[in-house]
Amino acid sequence: METVQLDRDVFETRVPNGVTVVSERVAGVRSAAVGIWVRTASVHEPRHLMGVSHLLEHMVFKGTTQRSAREIALELEARGGSLDAYTSRDTTAFQARVLDADLPRALDVLTDLVRRPALRDADLDLERNVILEEINTVQDTPDDLVFDLTAEALWPDHPYGYSILGTRDTVTTLSTEDLRRLHDRAYHSANCVIAAAGNLEHGALLELVGAQGWLDTPNGNGRAPGSPPAAAAVRGREVRHPKDTAQTHIVLATEGVRFSDPRKFPLMVLSNVFGGGMSSRLFQRIREELGLAYAVYSFTSFHGHAGVLGVYVGTQPRTAAQAAEAIREEYDKLARGGLAPDALDQAKQQTQGQLTLMLESPTARMYRLAGLAVHGEPYRSLDQTLAQIAALTPREVADVAAEFFAPDRQTLVWLGPN
């Protein structure tokens, strides 16, 4: 094993079997956050198996070879802790937040979930119905549904455009054999990252990880499913989806940059200026000046192969065209003019402040370490990241604004009454 000290309290160990263990000691807390990230998720799914990663994430909580579903639920909650999981485009993650004394218990439960799920036929119909209800919830929540429709519009033939939940048709046909095949291929040491932060020591964490068998020879012989090559997103498309809603929900979006691309920092700065809060251009124009919406904001996401950036607004059907046109005008201003030096300084300070405040919790620090390890990115301290943002020049930011905020690049998705 090779353990490297990345920062004063940050350590990373790479084990010969492929698993990566990374941790950060956070002084002054009595808690610990720990998680296991599997580097397989929706981007690795063929269309006919859409939703299989998410269904597997659910099914492991139905019981393992050592614990019932109820025992899993009680194991940490009875001690005041929490246990959760999620499926994203690139990863499936299982994490816990507990008192520092309960870190061994948390790691035992997480390992049990990841390594030893029962995956019983008798549980599948019940959990399948839960997923179908989750899909129904999205269908009944238009400000969620519009984002799924946007991904589909951007990547109609690539898994980045698939629904993470799957569809009613695909979820209905998934079998326990599909789940077992995915588990055998993906849920093994070489495909996992273990991250932790809080009142802990890296050496003691390694002992706990070793006691759970993560430092042994690979626990699986399978090879993780590969993701298809990144495909260019559709640009400048307009798609309308009729739905009987009180508002028209609109997203303008375009392909951004991948997690490892340094342009994500100017994109974060620009997104803050554009629609990141009450002082942003969109909030001031769309809500304060024109009174067209209650909710209007920009967003960014950075995945392994690509990213997304865009704008959401919900408005009355009769004002939808006016809102979309006003947003396009703001896109054009930013693409053509970039940011004046004083506006750039303010935007940098806002982004730096957000990043600093976000990392006040051990859970957020765990997520940050896991993200870097999952994507194979070199560690940067918070100070290094803040300095990188501070060093952005008006020219760099203007170039990114001209490339990604051009109005004719944006794909426009409408969801609401005709």
Specify the DSSP class assigned to residue 302: E
Count Cβ atoms within 10 A of the Cβ of residue 301 and give its class: 0-12 exposed, 13-18 middle, 19 or more buried.
middle
Tokens of 225: 């499913």
* Amino acid, single-letter form, for residue 182: L
How far the first Cα of the chain sits from its last, in Å, is: 61
- Provide DSSP, 182-202: HHHHHSSGGGEEEEEEES--H
Contact 356, 279 (CB under 8 A): no
Pairing of strands 2-7, 82-87: unpaired
Specify the DSSP class assigned to residue 2: E
The number of CA neighbours under 13 Å toward the Cβ of 188 is 20
The number of CA neighbours under 13 Å toward the Cβ of 30 is 3
* Amino acid, single-letter form, for residue 2: E
Q: In sequence order, which residues have a C-beta less than 8 Å from that of residue 31 and are 6 or more positions away? A: 97, 98, 99, 100, 198, 199, 362
Helix axes 382-390, 341-358, angle to 10 degrees: 170
Q: In the block, which residue shows the tokens 């896109």?
A: 331
List % helix, strand, coil for the chain (3-state, nearest 5).
50, 20, 30
Catalytic residues: 57
Tokens of 414: 């409408």
Q: How many CB atoms lie within 10 A of CB 373?
A: 21
Q: How far apart are CA 390 and CA 350, in angstroms?
A: 11
Contact 20, 13 (CB under 8 A): yes
Q: In sequence order, which residues have a C-beta less than 8 Å from that of residue 138 and are 6 or more positions away? A: 144, 145, 148, 165
**3-class SS at 111?**
helix
